[in-house]
Amino acid sequence: MPPVKVCQKLLAASIVSASIAASSVCLAARPTIEIVNPRRRTDFASIQLAVTAAARSKAGVYLIEIRPGRYHESITVPKMAGQVLLDGMGKSPSSVWIGAGKGKRTLTVHAGNFLARNLTVDNTAGPTAGPQNAVYIDGRHQIFDHVVIKGWQDTLAIWNGCTSYFTHCQIWGSVDFIYSGGTALFSNCTILQRRDTGGVNCAPSTPKNVAYGFIFRHCLISKLPGVRAASSTLMRPWRAYGMAAYIDCTMDNHITEGGWSRWDGREHTCRALEFGSVTPAGKLINLSRRAPWVKRISAAQSRHYTLSHIFPHWNPPAMLKFLGR
């Protein structure tokens, strides 16, 4: 896409949403577009080098196009005035693989108005390494589109104050692998249990005064082959008011009949909601058998957990549309 058209679309997207207009900028006549390709001396040899250049640049929008390959990196995107877009240029997310091992976060994002697309972000520490982040985010207005995020325990950390939107992503893990106190909407994503003995999908620590924690809409709650039936649950509350909602999701048989896990009595104050869950064959799951502290909401109530309610001043799909995604 020609640079001028990219810039025009970013400007149009910023008009669509009040929050984007307030925080997304295009300061130059054209965005800065850089390429990461270790095979060419004229391009950046690593993703971190390109991100560091973006942090130092005064460009409003910094589009980083990453050529297919395996990138053994631990990447940090700092807070900055502009906007960083990481765009994998392969045919699928597996074409651009970013990996780091034990003791390292693979991708840390402090910046607002960040977008990642068509990538795989992998923490390779393994199943016995304990808590290890593949992705840690704490910025405002972050979008992940067709991104595969792989780890085991604590794969994806969505920290307090973070607002994020995940669409057509895969999140792999074993224990509490989506956690912390930020607000995130997962739309048409696959949440994948990979440990044969199962585990807990998410562990929110949503503050009491924050209305929305982790919202899963039209997601596939699935497993790898070999994961035992009735071995996993949807959530356990890390903090007293942790909030999670599963709306119109398809759930494989690794999810227990009770569906949700206790944690030191915090299940009595947490916010756990579920509606419209079905089996892979499309059969409605009997939610009356869920844990007694889980709120079974109605179809009308489920509409309060849509994008326009969760993010009333931010429209991520509009941003993706204007970017041609």
In a 13 Å sphere around the CA of 44, the CA atoms on its Cβ side amount to 19
pLDDT in tens, 260-272: 999 999 999 999 9
In a domain, 53, yes or no: no
pLDDT at 1: 40
In a domain, 280, yes or no: yes
Which amino acid is located at 176 in the chain? D
pLDDT at 29: 36
pLDDT at 30: 65
21 versus 265: the higher-pLDDT residue is 265
In a domain, 84, yes or no: yes
In a domain, 13, yes or no: no
65 versus 29: the higher-pLDDT residue is 65
pLDDT at 81: 79
- What percent of the chain is predicted at pLDDT more than 70? 90
pLDDT at 274: 98
Q: Report the mean per-residue pLDDT for the chain.
A: 91
Does residue 292 carry a pLDDT above 50? yes
Q: Which domain holds residue 165?
A: 65-309
Does residue 5 carry a pLDDT above 50? no
In a domain, 173, yes or no: yes
Least reliable range by pLDDT among 55-59, 62-66, 107-111, 278-282: 55-59
Q: Positive or negative CA dihedral for 75, 88, 99, 255?
A: positive
293 versus 324: the higher-pLDDT residue is 293
- What percent of the chain is predicted at pLDDT more than 90? 85
pLDDT at 265: 97
In a domain, 316, yes or no: no
Does residue 26 carry a pLDDT above 50? no
pLDDT at 123: 98
Longest pairwise C-alpha distance within the chain:
61
In a domain, 7, yes or no: no
pLDDT, mean of residues 119-128:
98
Q: How far, in whole angstroms, is CA 27 from its chain's centroid? A: 28
pLDDT in tens, 62-108: 999 999 999 999 999 999 878 999 999 999 999 999 999 999 999 99
Alpha carbon distance, N-terminus to C-terminus of the chain: 12
Q: 66 is written with which tokens?
A: 């990453």
Structural domain count of the chain:
1
CATH number at residue 167: 2.160.20.10
Does residue 308 carry a pLDDT above 90? yes
19 versus 32: the higher-pLDDT residue is 32
pLDDT at 325: 60
Does residue 228 carry a pLDDT above 50? yes
pLDDT at 74: 98
Least reliable range by pLDDT among 31-35, 154-158, 221-225: 31-35
pLDDT, mean of residues 29-46:
90
Does residue 12 carry a pLDDT above 80? no
**CA 206/CA 171 separation, integer angstroms:** 20
Q: How far, in whole angstroms, is CA 37 from its chain's centroid? A: 25
In a domain, 52, yes or no: no
Q: How far, in whole angstroms, is CA 187 from its chain's centroid? A: 10
pTM of the model: 0.92
